[in-house]
Amino acid sequence: MTELVRMTAIDKRFPGVHALKSAQFDLVSGEVHALMGENGAGKSTLMKILSGIYQPDGGTVAVEGKSVTVQGPRAAQSLGIGIIHQELALMNDLTVAQNIFIGREPRRSFGRLDEGKLNEDAESIFKAMNVAMDVRAEVRTLSVARQQMVEIAKALSYRSRILIMDEPTAALNDAETNELFAIIRRLKSEGVGVVYISHKMDEIRRISDRVTVMRDGAYVGTVAAADTPISTIISMMVGRDLENTDVDIPDLSAAPLALEVRGLNRGRTIRDVSFTLRRGEILGFAGLMGAGRTEVARAIFGADVRDSGEIIVHGKPCTIRSPKDAVGVGIGYLSEDRKHYGLALGLDVRSNIGMTSLFRFQNRFGVVNDNALAVVAKDYIAKLAIRTPTDRQEVRLLSGGNQQKIVIAKWLLRDCDILFFDEPTRGIDVGAKAEIYRLLQSLAAQGKAIVVISSELPEVLRLSHRIAVMCEGRLTGILPGGAATTQEHIMRLATLRQGALEEATA
Amino acid sequence: MTTAPAAPVAAAKAPSGAQQKILAFASLIVLLVFFSVASENFLQTSNILAILQATSVNGVLAIAATLVIITGGIDLSVGTLMTFCAVMAGVVLTYMGLPLPLGILAALGTGALCGLISGALIAKMKIPPFIATLGMMLILKGLSLVISGTKPIYFNDTPGFSEISTGSLIGVFLPGVPVPNGVLILFLLALVMGYVLNRTVLGRYTFALGSNEEAVRLSGVNTDAWKMAIYALSGAICGIAGLIIASRLNSAQPALGLGYELDAIAAVVIGGTSLAGGRGSILGTIIGALIMSVLLNGLRIMSVAQEWQTVVTGLIIIAAVYADMLRRRRAG
């Protein structure tokens, strides 16, 4: 077993974020080394440095004992480092074979392509992987799982000695995951070192030899996968200090129902989801990536078409076909991607707060009463403690936490009393997180009904009065909030796959 | 079992660009049949040759535009670049009195250089293609006027120059079919570029860039260099168009050129090349250019006023793009 990679004291800063603080990592040949941590812990950033996409601000990278600077993707390839990105990086309009060999096409004279050899080479890679694949098919015609296989084949085609997989099973079902694991084991036996980034605890135990945990951009520790209990790994991930935050759970049994959802279905992404939400309640939605939480929120909000399902708001059944209908009955949705869907970054704070309520500030000729809007905007700036020099400041110049508050102000002004928060603290630093939490709690105390979708378990545990857990489109259980529920309880429900259930009962 | 039946294993094969091409080809046939029935003059050899002749310049420019559009870019400067190349050929041939091959080289070289500059503005300076080529469009229009002193440059001193477009090499061998050389050049160029797009590395990267530029970059490909090469090749093709039009008019008309870029883009779009990049074909573009020429020719033969011809062209473009949108929406 030779040492393939040793990264020491890696430092990386992005504007406003200290992404990696003296992080370290090592990899030997023939092992699967899992890299774990919460979202934003720095796993992907560390691996992007190893694969040449980012340059570190400090620290050293050694490959097979030699200190190297990985200048770019091409340099990484020649060092035998292959990466499978979290977001699929394929060219949809090209065929499978063309994707695999992009940049290294077998050529003949005058830049002519040798398409025959291209297809043969691609076929032999899939044969070695033991995967049946039409290498002449356009990538856009493949399912996401098949596209994932193409990514893996592409990484293997570099004869990588070091293979980085960032959440490779996020879109795979059980059978496909097993297939992938068979491939990984074969690679292991050939001496390839695999870095495996995943959130799925059960997978980590099945496939990896060692586990390195990161938190807030720093190295926490490395343990052997086989004899370390999952709870130990989880507590390494979250840090002990966050675990014993108490939730103050109000008695809501008398509070009227704000929202009731019955039998919500949408293709394979949402399967028969039903739940209720009371006024003044914070309902957390937990689950792994791709469990269908965002999809549920979007379906209720009318952003995606539902196959079936009843939505009852304040006791009245509603027809919600579009976001406009949803807003009409007082449902607001705060997207996980604020910058794309929540804000007009180039406009000022005032305009963003008034964005969905402009009709209230216009006279009958459609002229906006800017003075009235300014008064309201300043009121919300004070109420939500939005830190901005004036209400005319461009939103893009504010911090993530303050941007999030502006989105909240926008929906409050629109009189929405049922609010869906999708990853409300993504990209927000720790101090501002606490402030957003307090804001959500005070909104609930004022009688708003709140759904918080979050991939960060400590966040769910800290905020929720009840916790709904999803797995592969199904609601696998609703847990009470408070100290009685632990991350392990949630994890158990979040990994409760239907396939496993069926096998057990068959 | 309460779960829904398993979804179909693989989605039905998404409709491909081939369908749009077939649609465009069918439209062309329908137009041909319609005009043949409507007017007996339409199908006469002289009229067919006139249609082809009228297609040659727009067709060549549309091929240049196709390359750029497949990368996900746009080139608004193809029309004025064509004129600028013609003017530069005039400078070399008429002002300097150099032999014909050097004039041809001047036109092609000027085109490639200007394309390279556009490409550099876009790839290196990260200026959006629309803006970069809008700037180039105006710069080249101005330069053409400055260099020529706003007067046409005639090619009377260069024997054989007018043969480039109006002579007929085919007519020499097949006396019955005097297809002008301009048309011959268009179809030869289409064959060559069709091969380049589908069979060479440059063509592969043209599609790959339009499909997912970041993915190509992460695969270790020097995307900036390839993009510049594609714009340079596109520019050189504009140089060919410049030679054809100058030869047909036996002069470089410096005021000409504006508006040609829109006709070229229209032909590309009608031919099924997606403005979003990643898909498209030379064959489609040629069909698109032919549809536009046939339409204008046919309407003229039917004595439809020129103003209405323009209106119809506009309607056709919108219909073609809408068909493309429908196709892509179904493809998801």
- Is the CB of A93 less than 8 angstroms away from the CB of B279? yes
Q: For residues B259-271, give the mean pLDDT.
A: 92
Confidence grade of residue A290 (pLDDT, cut at 50, 70, 90): confident
Q: Residue B10 above 70 pLDDT?
A: no
Average pLDDT, integer, range A404-416: 88
- What local confidence, expressed as pLDDT, does residue B13 receive? 36
A265 touches chain B (CB under 8 A): yes
Q: Residue A112's closest chain B neighbor by CA?
A: B200
**Residue B9 scores a pLDDT above 70:** no
Six token digits for residue A230: 């999952």
Distance CA B253, CA A386 (A): 62
| CA distances in angstroms from A134 to A95, A150, B229, listed in the order given | 9, 11, 32
- Chain A hits for B275, Cβ within 8 Å: none
CA terminus-to-terminus distance, chain B = 30
Q: What percent of chain A has pLDDT over 90?
A: 41
Average pLDDT value for residue range A236-252 = 67
Helix or strand run (H / E) with residue A18? strand A17-28
The rounded mean pLDDT for chain A is: 86
**Average pLDDT in the A285-291 region?**
84
- At residue A455, what are phi and psi to the nearest 5 degrees? -90, -5
pLDDT computed for residue A309 by the predictor = 93
DSSP codes of every residue in B252-263: E-TT--TTHHHH
Judging contacts by C-beta atoms under 8 Å, the chain B residues touching residue A77 are 220
DSSP alpha helices (H): ranges in B11-128? 17-38, 45-70, 78-90, 100-123
Say yes or no: B221 contacts chain A, CB-CB below 8 A: yes
Taking 90 as the threshold, does the pLDDT of residue A398 lie above it? no
* Type of residue at A446: Q
Decide if B172 touches A, using CB distance below 8 A: no
8 Å CB contact of A89 and B218: yes
Nearest CA in chain B to A97: B204
Mutation for B interface: A92, A93, A96, A144, most B CBs within 10 A: A93
Residue A82 β-bridge partners:
A163
Chain B 265-324, residues with CB within 8 Å of chain A CB atoms: 278-279
Residue A142 forms contact with B (CB below 8 Å): yes
Rounded Cα distance between B78 and B56, Å, is 14
Rounded to an integer, what distance in angstroms lies between the CA atom of residue B65 and that of residue B234? 7
Put simply, the answer to whether B199 touches A115 (Cβ < 8 Å) is yes
- Residue B207 forms contact with A (CB below 8 Å): yes
First to last CA, chain A: 43
Asked if pLDDT for residue A296 goes beyond 60, the answer is: yes
* pLDDT score of A429 more than 70: no
What is the arithmetic mean of pLDDT over B178-204? Answer: 94
pLDDT at A302 > cutoff 70 = yes
Q: Beta strands A418-422 and A331-334: pairing type?
A: parallel
Residues of chain A positioned with their CB less than 8 A from the CB of B220 = 72-74, 77, 103
Residue ranges of domains in chain B: 17-30+40-327
Residue bearing tokens 């980590």:
A204
Tell which residue, A459, A465, A457, A463, has the closest CA to residue A490: A457
State yes or no: pLDDT of A503 exceeds 80: no
Give every CB contact of residue A312 below 8 A, 6+ residues apart in sequence.
A257, A259, A260, A261, A262, A318
* Chain B residues lying within 8 Å of A155, measured CB to CB: none
Closest chain B residue to A48, measured at CA: B218
Q: For residues A69 and A79, what is the distance between their CA atoms, to the nearest angstrom?
A: 10
Percent of chain B whose predicted confidence (pLDDT) is above 70: 92
How far apart CA A82 and CA A158 sit, in angstroms, is: 7
Helix or strand (DSSP H, E) at A67: strand A66-68
CA atoms within 13 A on the CB side of A210: 15
Task: Work out whether the CA dihedral B108, B112, B114, B118 comes out positive or negative.
Answer: positive
Query: pLDDT category, A246, cuts 50, 70, 90?
Result: low
Task: Write out chain A residues lying below 8 Å of B279, CB-based.
Answer: 93
Note whether A272 contacts B219, CB cutoff 8 Å: no
**Residue A482 pLDDT greater than 90, yes or no:** no
Say yes or no to pLDDT of A252 above 50: yes
Q: Which residues contact B330 (CB under 8 A, 6 or more apart)?
A: B14, B15
The CA angle B255-B259-B263, to the nearest 5 degrees, is: 140
Domain ranges of chain A: 3-240, 257-339+415-505
pLDDT (0 to 100) of residue A498: 67
Please give the order of strands across the beta sheet that includes A270-278. A270-278, A257-266, A308-313, A316-318
- What confidence score (pLDDT) does residue B331 get? 55
Q: Which fold has domain B17-30+40-327?
A: ABC transporter involved in vitamin B12 uptake, BtuC (1.10.3470)
Choose the weakest-confidence range: A250-254, B66-70, B311-315, B327-331: B327-331
Q: For residue A244, what is the DSSP state?
A: T
In a 3-state reduction of DSSP, which class is residue A257?
strand
pLDDT digits (tens, 9 = 90+) for B122-172: 999 999 999 999 999 999 999 999 999 999 999 998 888 999 988 888 888
CA distances from B258 to A47, A416, A442, B261 (A): 50, 53, 62, 7
pLDDT computed for residue A367 by the predictor: 84
Element (H, E) at B134: helix B129-148
Asked if the C-beta of B212 comes within 8 angstroms of chain A's C-beta atoms, the answer is yes
Does residue A130 or residue B194 have the better pLDDT?
A: B194
Is the model more confident about B218 or about A209? A209
Q: Is the pLDDT of residue A282 over 90?
A: yes
Are domains A3-240 and A257-339+415-505 of this chain identical in fold?
yes
A316 touching B, CB under 8 A? no
Please tell me if residue B204 touches chain A, with a CB cutoff of 8 Å.
yes
Which of these ranges, A50-54, A295-299, A367-371, B228-232, has the smallest mean pLDDT? A367-371
Q: Judging by beta carbons within 10 Å of its beta carbon (0-12, 13-18, 19+), is residue B258 exposed, middle or buried?
A: middle
Higher pLDDT, A146 or B241: B241
Q: Which residue of B has its CA nearest to A505?
A: B1
Which pLDDT does position B328 carry in this prediction? 65
Q: Which of A231-240, B69-78, B91-100, B243-252 has the lowest mean pLDDT?
A: A231-240
pLDDT tens per residue, range B113-124: 999 999 999 999
**Angstroms from A60 CA to nearest CA on chain B:** 22
pLDDT tens per residue across span A309-364: 999 999 999 999 988 899 889 999 988 777 777 788 888 899 889 888 888 888 87
Q: Do A94 and B207 touch (CB under 8 A)?
A: yes
Map residue A20 onto helix, strand or coil. strand
- CB of B201 less than 8 A from some CB of A: yes
Distance CA B71, CA B209 (A): 5
Q: Which of A242-251, A296-305, B247-256 has the lowest mean pLDDT?
A: A242-251
Confidence band, pLDDT 50/70/90 cuts, at residue B329: low
| Closest residue to B220, CB basis, from A77, A85, A90 | A77
Judged against a pLDDT cut of 70, whether residue B8 lies above it is answered with no
- Residue A109 DSSP label: G
Q: What is the pLDDT of residues A153-209, one digit of tens each?
A: 888 888 888 999 988 877 777 777 888 888 889 889 989 999 999 877 778 888 999
In the block, which residue shows the tokens 């934003």?
A40
CB pair distance less than 8 Å for B201 and A143 = no
Distance CA B110, CA B235 (A): 8
**What is A3-240's CATH topology?**
Rossmann fold (3.40.50)
Residues B84 and B144: their CA atoms lie apart, in Å, by 5
B82 pLDDT exceeds 60?
A: yes
- A88, A91, A133, A149: which to substitute to probe chain B, counting the most B Cβ within 10 Å? A91
pLDDT of residue B12: 34
Q: To the nearest whole angstrom, how far is the Cα of B28 from the nearest Cα of chain A? A: 26
Question: What's the CA gap between A50 and B59, in Å, rounded?
Answer: 48
Inspect the interface and report whether the beta carbons of B220 and A74 lie closer than 8 Å: yes
What is the CATH number that goes with domain A257-339+415-505?
A: 3.40.50.300
Q: Is A18 exposed, middle or buried (0-12, 13-18, 19+ CB in 10 A)?
A: middle
CA distance A444 to B180: 79
Hey, how many other C-beta atoms are within 10 angstroms of the C-beta on B105? Answer: 14
Closest residue in B to A74 (Cα) is B220
> At B332, is the pLDDT very low, low, confident or very high (cuts 50, 70, 90)?
very low
User: Three-state DSSP class for B111?
Assistant: helix
Interior/surface letters A413-447, b for 16+ CB within 10 angstroms, e for the rest: bbebbbbbbbbbbbbbeeebbebbbebbbebbeee
Query: For position A16, what pLDDT does the model report?
Result: 64
Q: How much is the pLDDT for A245?
A: 56
Closest CA to A487 of A301, A303, A229, A292: A229
pLDDT of residue A505: 44
Q: How confident is the model at residue B223 (pLDDT cuts 50, 70, 90)?
A: very high
Cβ contacts (< 8 Å) between B221 and chain A: which residues?
102-103
> Across the strands, what pairs with A193?
A162
**pLDDT at residue B71 above 80?**
yes
Residue A350's nearest CA partner among A408, A394, A387 is A394
% of chain B at pLDDT higher than 90: 63
Which of A91, A141, A271 faces B212 most closely, judged by CB atoms?
A: A91
ipTM of the complex: 0.76
Mean pLDDT, residues B287-311 taken together: 90
User: Would you call A89 and B214 a contact, using CB atoms and an 8 Å cutoff?
Assistant: yes
User: Is pLDDT at A502 greater than 80 in this prediction?
Assistant: no
Q: Do B218 and A73 touch (CB under 8 A)?
A: yes
Q: Is the pLDDT of residue A479 over 80?
A: yes
The helix or strand, by DSSP H or E, that contains position A76, with its residue range, turns out to be helix A73-78
